[in-house]
């Protein structure tokens, strides 16, 4: 079936560096994409979203890029901090109210 | 606002027992969801609801049932618990399927 997947299960960066987390999706009908952050022992928390009529969206220290041609989504975190250490999930929405989540990328920030 | 609340936080069940996981949201969201998350994995959708009185199956509905009698509440029922249902269960809600979901803190369930 169609699903959202992540290119790398783990990512380790130095504090202060930029982080890039990637996501591949396979459902060309998906028109809404969300990045979530999940800290240990907690539920996922919304970071940023993007709709399919956009290529880029910026938030505070985070940027999401959407490439519909190759069905690729990325999350960029600027000046990564220890508090950014978590598991990051991308999710895609088609119609009928459902989200499909990828397996997640674990980001570790080294001091 | 409390957001999405879930009870209990932890539960241990014996094989064959039944239980109901409670979920309540106070944001007046129409959409509500139940997910399970196995260790090191992503979230799998069990059931979802687009409004009171309307529910539909997700990716992994077998062994579970839901009801949605009010906008606020979306309980998940486990009948005849099996070890394969050991997982962390998250409830979520959203304004619509084109807006972000708000998640509860989760229920950690162990079936032995």
Asked if the C-beta of B2 comes within 8 angstroms of chain A's C-beta atoms, the answer is no
Whole-angstrom CA distances from A94 to A42, A51, B32, B50, B107 are: 26, 11, 16, 14, 27
Prior bond to B8 cis, omega within 30?
yes
Q: How far is A72 from chain B (nearest CA, A)?
A: 18
- Give SS3 for A97: coil
Mutation target to probe the B interface, by most B beta carbons within 10 A, among A99, A100, A101, A106 is A99
- Give SS3 for A84: helix
Asked if B23 and B90 count as a contact pair (C-beta separation under 8 A), the reply is no
Contacts of B93 in chain A (CB under 8 A): none
Q: What digits encode the pLDDT tens for the residues A66-78?
A: 999 999 999 999 9
In 3-state terms chain B splits into helix, strand, coil percentages (rounded to 5) of: 5, 50, 45
Asked if the model's pLDDT at residue A6 lies above 60, the reply is: no
Asked if the model's pLDDT at residue A53 lies above 70, the reply is: yes
Asked if B110 and B86 count as a contact pair (C-beta separation under 8 A), the reply is yes
**Going by C-beta distance under 8 Å and a sequence separation of 6 or more, which residues neighbour residue B30?**
B50, B51, B71, B95, B96
Asked if the C-beta of B100 comes within 8 angstroms of chain A's C-beta atoms, the answer is yes
Asked if the model's pLDDT at residue A3 lies above 50, the reply is: no
Whole-angstrom CA distances from A64 to A19, A24, A47, A73, B11 are: 12, 13, 10, 7, 38
Asked if the model's pLDDT at residue A8 lies above 70, the reply is: no
Mutation target to probe the B interface, by most B beta carbons within 10 A, among A43, A54, A57 is A43
Mutation target to probe the A interface, by most A beta carbons within 10 A, among B6, B7, B43 is B43
Q: What average pLDDT does the segment B81-108 reach?
A: 95
Q: What average pLDDT does the segment A28-51 reach?
A: 94
Asked if the C-beta of A100 comes within 8 angstroms of chain B's C-beta atoms, the answer is yes
Q: Scanning the structure block, which residue is given the tokens 């080294």?
A: A110
- How does residue A4 score in pLDDT terms, banded at 50, 70 and 90? low
d(C-alpha A93, C-alpha A96), whole Å:
9
- How does residue B1 score in pLDDT terms, banded at 50, 70 and 90? confident
Find the CB nearest B103 among A32, A44, A103.
Answer: A44
């Amino acid at each position: 079936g169609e699903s959202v997947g992540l290119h790398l299960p783990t990512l380790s960066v130095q504090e202060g560096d930029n982080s890039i987390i990637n996501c591949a999706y396979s459902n060309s009908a998906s028109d809404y994409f969300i990045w979530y952050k999940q800290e240990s022992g907690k539920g996922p928390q919304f970071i940023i979203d993007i709709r399919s009529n956009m290529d880029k969206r910026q938030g505070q220290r985070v940027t999401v890029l959407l490439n519909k041609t190759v069905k690729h989504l990325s999350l960029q975190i600027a000046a990564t901090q220890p508090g950014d250490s978590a598991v990051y999930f991308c999710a895609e929405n088609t119609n009928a109210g459902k989200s499909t989540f990828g397996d997640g990328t674990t980001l570790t920030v080294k001091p | 606002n409390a957001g999405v609340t879930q009870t209990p936080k932890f539960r241990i069940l014996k094989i064959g027992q039944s239980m109901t996981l409670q979920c309540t949201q106070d944001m007046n969201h129409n959409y509500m969801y139940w997910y399970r998350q196995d260790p090191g994995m992503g979230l799998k959708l069990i059931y979802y609801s687009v409004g009171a009185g309307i529910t539909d199956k997700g990716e992994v509905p077998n062994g579970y049932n839901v009801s949605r009698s009010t906008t606020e509440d979306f309980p998940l029922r486990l009948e005849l618990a099996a070890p394969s249902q050991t997982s962390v269960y998250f409830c979520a809600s959203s304004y619509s399927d084109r807006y972000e979901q708000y998640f509860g803190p989760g229920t950690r369930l162990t079936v032995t």
